[in-house]
Amino acid sequence: MLEEALESGAGLRKLKEMIRAQGGDPAVCDDPGLLPQAKVKRQVFCGRSGYVRAMDTVALGCAAQAMGAGRLRKEDPIDYAAGFVLQVRLGDRTEPDTPLCELHARTEEDADRAEQAIRAALTWSETPCGGGKNFHALVTAEGVTML
């Protein structure tokens, strides 16, 4: 059903419906350039050889929040252009020139702080280590089976 929805365009039509229902502009699906754009875009590289052993996902979330991509308090504004795209996964082999993340920030200072926080949230190993699980449970009409 998922493949059919993607191939037929039904999935995209439903996404546009959902965006419209929430007061957004569904044209962003066809032209992502309509979305807010960060003033600072920076590609960050790993800077080291090894394997990604662990990620402190709470620290990664806090790094995004500190850039303005989330709220600390309900009344805080959200910067819809701020955030980062992490380009490594658990177990990945990295070299110094391996892309670590792409930062989208308001200022160079925000980008610097985020880069430091992201680096601090990752742990490397010199030896291969397993990656994280992609699936933790199977949900069916009969119930949930933990994998």
**5 shares its domain with 62:** no
Q: Stretch 99-128: mean pLDDT, rounded? A: 97
Global pTM? 0.81
pLDDT tops 80 at residue 132: no
Range of the domain at 12: 1-35
Q: Stretch 130-137: mean pLDDT, rounded? A: 79
Is there a contact between 16 and 57 (Cβ–Cβ < 8 Å)?
no
Residue 131 has a pLDDT of 77
Residue 136 has a pLDDT of 84
Looking at the structure of the chain, the number of domains it has is: 2
Q: Stretch 14-38: mean pLDDT, rounded? A: 96
User: Does 121 reside within a domain?
Assistant: yes
User: Does 113 reside within a domain?
Assistant: yes
**41 shares its domain with 31:** no
**15 shares its domain with 75:** no
At 49, which CATH number? 3.90.1170.30
Q: Stretch 41-68: mean pLDDT, rounded? A: 97
Token pair for 87:
């380009």
**61 shares its domain with 122:** yes
pLDDT tops 80 at residue 110: yes
Alpha-carbon radius of gyration of the chain: 19
User: Does 140 reside within a domain?
Assistant: no
User: Does 144 reside within a domain?
Assistant: no
